[in-house]
Structure 1
Amino acid sequence: GLAVTNRPVGAYRQGLLVSHDEPETGPTVDEERDATNFSYVSWGAIARAMDLRVDTSAANDPRFR
């Protein structure tokens, strides 16, 4: 799964994309533990790569549109 926000989150001043993968499998994975990974990516970096504008102003809240 994944989630994204354009709101400042800690050091991610232009937002954050978080992805979560399925449990890892294979001979080196501890069978007693569901090993999963989270990835944290700057939404600002993604927006720049896609030529998108990021607006983190307080008035830019889609819940109130």
Structure 2
Amino acid sequence: MNKFIAFEGLDACGKTTLSSLYAKEKNSVVHSAVIEEALELRKVIDTYESKESAFLFFY
């Protein structure tokens, strides 16, 4: 039986880290909610000192 597990939480709380470790342990796949086109922009925003800019991007 296939299962779908969703990791939920605030930005930068470890969702990706935990889901990746779990997927590796269970030999399964992780699907990200962040679209490919937004990954570069997310990296740029993460370099800003102001965390408000990241909040506004994801809000």
- TM-score when normalising by structure 1: 0.30
Larger Rg: 1
Larger RCO: 1 or 2 (CA < 8 Å, sep 6+): 1
Q: Which has the higher helix share?
A: 2
Q: Which has the higher strand share?
A: 1
